[in-house]
Amino acid sequence: MTQSAGRTALVELSDVSKHYGNVRALEGVSLQVHAGEITCVLGDNGAGKSTLIKIIAGLHQHDGGTLRIDGEETRLGSPREALDRGIATVYQDLAVVSLMPVWRNFFLGSEPRKGLGPFKRMDVDFMRRTTHSELLRMGIDLRDVDQPIGTLSGGERQCVAIARAVHFGAKVLVLDEPTAALGVKQSGVVLKYVAAARDQGLGVVLITHNPHHAYMVGDRFVLLKRGSMAGSHTRDSITLDELTRQMAGGNDLDDLRHELQRT
């Protein structure tokens, strides 16, 4: 049950819109992300989910409405600015170097160094130890952090990316379809670590087209259709069957079923 009444949202979008020329990508979309909660954004291809991610991640600026971070109205100018404000985004295609070891990918772009002057070098031992301990803290027990990350399953790579975001101080974690290309078992593993991030106090935005996955972990549900809000619910205000029905088209689906019935 959602327990966020009276608390300031980590991220809040109010009537946010985004247009690309004459194309309306988003119109009047609102959502809230609270610490220790998972907000699920559901919609089919072309619903506006990618545009929503880009606005929260600082890739694109919204045209209308307001974006607030910790209650402060703002416009993010870049992904680096979003990161500096505690918003980490894990995209579906995962920015990893397959042939590099797990620990190297864990610290990619943020490598700690030791030594002075010309003797300064990457602190490999520290990175190995930290990667193993941080993964273990999230419940991920990799036998060998020296193995190339490309040898891990898709679910394991997603989990490493989640643990990395937690380690580097993210307050808000945005996940772009993390279970889209995974089977049932691997999807369950990823959802377990999504819940672990929530339990560590992060606010999570889970982008998905799968209402069953969303309902397993979600506290709030925002449904998008052709760039507009098709519904907004808390977990205690909607059942899985109704969420699935709305996701599948709701009244439109009922009309189609009626049309297809044999006379």
Distance CA 123, CA 113 (A): 5
Distance CA 213, CA 85 (A): 28
Domain presence at residue 4: no
Residue 119 pLDDT: 79
pLDDT tens, N- to C-terminus, the chain (263 residues):
445 656 889 999 999 999 988 888 999 999 999 999 999 999 888 888 999 999 999 999 999 999 999 999 999 999 999 999 999 999 877 777 889 999 999 998 888 888 787 778 888 999 999 999 989 888 888 889 999 999 988 888 888 988 988 888 899 999 999 888 788 888 898 999 999 999 999 999 999 989 999 999 999 999 999 989 999 999 999 999 999 988 877 666 566 666 677 65
Q: What tokens appear for 229 in the block?
A: 């809000």
Residue 253 pLDDT: 59
Domain presence at residue 143: no
Distance CA 259, CA 263 (A): 9
Q: What tokens appear for 133 in the block?
A: 């301990």
Domain presence at residue 93: yes
CATH code assigned at 88: 3.40.50.300
Q: Which domain holds residue 77?
A: 11-97+171-260
How many C-beta neighbours within 10 Å does residue 45 have? 7
Domain presence at residue 235: yes
What is the domain count for the chain?
Answer: 1
Half-sphere exposure (Cβ direction) of 54: Cα atoms closer than 13 Å: 14
Distance CA 176, CA 194 (A): 12
Domain presence at residue 118: no
Q: Cβ(35)–Cβ(28) under 8 Å?
A: no
- Where do we find the tokens 């992060």? 202
Contacts of 38 (CB under 8 A, 6+ apart): 194, 195, 198, 204, 205, 206, 217, 218, 219, 220
Q: How far apart are the first and last CA of the chain?
A: 45
Distance CA 138, CA 96 (A): 19
In order of 24, 42, 190, 257, the CA distances from 48 in angstroms are 9, 10, 23, 26
Q: What tokens appear for 68 in the block?
A: 């607030």
Domain presence at residue 207: yes
Domain presence at residue 74: yes
Domain presence at residue 160: no
Distance CA 38, CA 218 (A): 5
